Amino acid sequence: GVLFRGALTQISDENLGWNFVNEYNNKVGSLWNENVKKSWNYYTNLTDYNLEVMTNSTLQMAEFDKEAAKNASTFAHDGFGNATLKRLFKKIVNIGFAATNDSEQLKAISNLEADLTGIYSKGKVCLESKGCLQLEPGLTDIITNSRSYEELLAVWKGWRDASGKLMRTKYTDFVKAMNAAIKFSGFNDTGEYWRSWYETPTFEQDVRTLFEELEPLYVELHAYVRKRLKEKYGKDMFPETGHIPAHLFGNMWAQQWSNIYDLLVPFPGASSVDITAKMKEQNYNVTHMYRVAEDFFMSIGMEKMTDAFWQNSMLVKPTDRDVVCHASAWDFYDENDFRIKQCTSVTEDQLLTVHHEMGHIVYYQNYKHLPRLFRRGANPGFHEGMADIVSLSFQTPEHMKVIGLLDEVPQDSDSDINFLLKMALDKVAFLPFGYLIDQWRWSVFRGDTNSSNYNQHWWDLRCRFQGISSPVKRTEEDFDPGAKYHIPGNTPYIRYFVSFVVQFQWHEALCREAGNTRPLHRCDIYNNTNAGNKLREMLRMGSSKPWQDAMEAITGQRTMSAKPLVNYFDPLLKWLKEQNKEENTGWSASCPSSIPTPSALAAGSANLFISITCFVLCVFFA
């Protein structure tokens, strides 16, 4: 009977296949819910006990995944006719690190990730002026608001000493354990496994091509920002090579530059929106920020946040325990419990992050009807694109007026350039950063980069792609990648580069669907259910189909394209080229050999003082 046949040949009866996957879906309901709850408990209360409970749960899940994969392979699922059934089986057998037969490796992976995340989340820098500060909110506030070269440098270097520098050895072990485990899944290294989620053989080349298409726009923005920062900090502090010191951008990683918009305003006379000031003026509190975001999603036809969301989320930093403050959205796979964990403060940056995290929740809500194996983004970049898409509407002056954060909508071209520059400081500035993080990590996983040149390769990429350089000497004692959450947190990053490309493709398509007649950068899909319905068509697919089908559902195309992003910023590019006529745009591919430091600045001005004095005395006595 079935047993004998199952023993020697694989089961080809698809009805038995459906029984298997339906049973799997029911079993993982409580299993995944329990596992997510234990992760949530650790991330919102970093105790050893919660870590142990979470690690044990992760190991149990791995055992379950291995057993399910083994049973699934008794079916001839590759030969199944039904594409959906075939796809479900593929996801059941594709279990990543859990395929290892050495549970010590899994324990190491889980514990090292927790150790590294713990170092990052508990890291603090003690400044004589301000006491001891953690990344959020203390160090972030200084990096955002200080305009002192030296103060920024102290915080920038201090954070790297308190985070990445302490992670180097653990990270080396972490990579080794992950690469050893992933081999049991048939992948050469962890990077190959992560790229497999995009189901695109040419994925690595595709993202490089997209980056190269977008680089000219970035180079013009970089040249303009460099010119303005030289005016502010003095050109002596900038290396001859054309790079910009990494600590001057209002962001700890120089990944987005909108916090220094005040130093860069193209037309100070024209209107530009300082949303943070307006929020404070109007006594925004944290809950109101979440209500504003919920209102946007409901206005395009999405469901409201569930009661469980409001009851179970952690929306402000607790004062009585250590937590992972890095914002995140959580799906508990029970079709009702969806949460955000965020140490929310009342700023513009944070209001955008609220919309981002809630965007993830809206994706969870729109695929909660699917088998659990399909309750993910069409690819990881799609989940991030969905998280960001409403911010392209939300930030427009038109929408700022709708929600009362702007009194009048300016129509003059100067204000338009002001607005476009502000958007570019987030969306264009980010592109090389979003691209290079996993260039570094994929090369580490491949073994091309190892602990003898971690930092060297990191700065080679930062200098080459971002055109920024370290304001202080860096050695292999440092481990600057570890100062960025996603490296200790082991969250893949190319998803954000993909997101920043596809969100403009979708924005263009949704605005067309909404009958928008304004320029793309002024389009606001608020209150437009046609746009919302189009978006929902894609969201409801989850990961049940290849992402090309999901892309087609919104845009009618099946590929990623940089054109909508370039079109969106076209008016700005013209203006930037005009501004940069006298500039040597670009920078040398390798990092500067010498680093101007504040002492050099002091020495410089001392020399200046001496030479002036001599000049005066010589003239006088002559």
Ligand X SMILES: CC(=O)N[C@@H](CC(=O)O)C(=O)NC[C@H](CC1(C(=O)N[C@@H](Cc2ccc(O)cc2)C(=O)O)CCCC1)C(=O)O
Task: Identify the H or E element spanning 617.
Answer: helix 598-621
* The one segment of 256-264, 333-341, 380-388, 598-606 that binds Zn ion by CB under 5 A: 380-388
- Candidates 344, 285, 286, 340; CA nearest to 308 is 340
> What are the backbone dihedrals phi and psi of residue 134, each rounded to the nearest 5 degrees, phi first?
-90, 175
The radius of gyration computed from the CA coordinates of the chain, to the nearest angstrom, equals 26
Residues in contact with 281: Cβ distance below 8 Å, sequence separation at least 6, in sequence order: none
369 is catalytic: no
**Cα–Cα dist 449/430, whole Å:** 24
CB of 258 to ligand X, least distance (A): 10
Residue nearer to ligand X on the CB measure, 360 or 474? 360
> Which residues are at the interface with ligand X (CB under 6 A)?
255, 326-330, 353, 356-357, 360, 383-384, 387-388, 496
- Name the binder of 142 from ligand X, Zn ion, none, CB < 5-8 A by kind: none
- Name the binder of 328 from Zn ion, ligand X, none, CB < 5-8 A by kind: ligand X
Residue nearer to ligand X on the CB measure, 255 or 449? 255
- Name the binder of 388 from Zn ion, ligand X, none, CB < 5-8 A by kind: ligand X
Residue showing the smallest CB distance to ligand X in the complex? 328
Residue nearer to ligand X on the CB measure, 237 or 302? 302
- Which tokens in the block code for residue 5? 């046949």
CB of 384 to Zn ion, least distance (A): 5
Beta-carbon neighbour count of residue 596 at 10 Å?
18
Residue nearer to ligand X on the CB measure, 357 or 524? 357
CA 310 to chain centre: 25
CB of 19 to ligand X, least distance (A): 30
Residue nearer to ligand X on the CB measure, 348 or 384? 384
CB of 198 to Zn ion, least distance (A): 17
Residue showing the smallest CB distance to Zn ion in the complex? 387
Q: Where are the alpha helices (DSSP H) in 272-319?
A: 275-281, 286-299, 307-312
For residue 127, list its beta bridge partners.
131
CB of 481 to ligand X, least distance (A): 13
CB of 133 to Zn ion, least distance (A): 25
**Cα–Cα dist 508/556, whole Å:** 12
Q: Of residues 113, 294, 348, 357, which has the active-site annotation?
A: 357
- Which tokens in the block code for residue 562? 């940089």
Q: Of residues 77, 222, 360, 486, which has the active-site annotation?
A: 486
- Name the binder of 327 from Zn ion, ligand X, none, CB < 5-8 A by kind: ligand X
Asked whether the beta carbons of 257 and 399 are under 8 A apart, the reply is no
**Cα–Cα dist 272/265, whole Å:** 8
- Name the binder of 353 from Zn ion, ligand X, none, CB < 5-8 A by kind: ligand X
243 is catalytic: no
Residue nearer to Zn ion on the CB measure, 266 or 380? 380
Q: Where are the alpha helices (DSSP H) in 166-244?
A: 168-182, 190-196, 203-233
Asked whether the beta carbons of 478 and 160 are under 8 A apart, the reply is yes
- Which tokens in the block code for residue 456? 């060297």
| Of the residues 85, 327, 340, 387, which one makes contact with Zn ion according to CB under 5 A | 387
Which residues are known catalytic residues?
357, 486
Q: Which residues would be at the binding site for Zn ion (CB under 5 A)? A: 384, 387
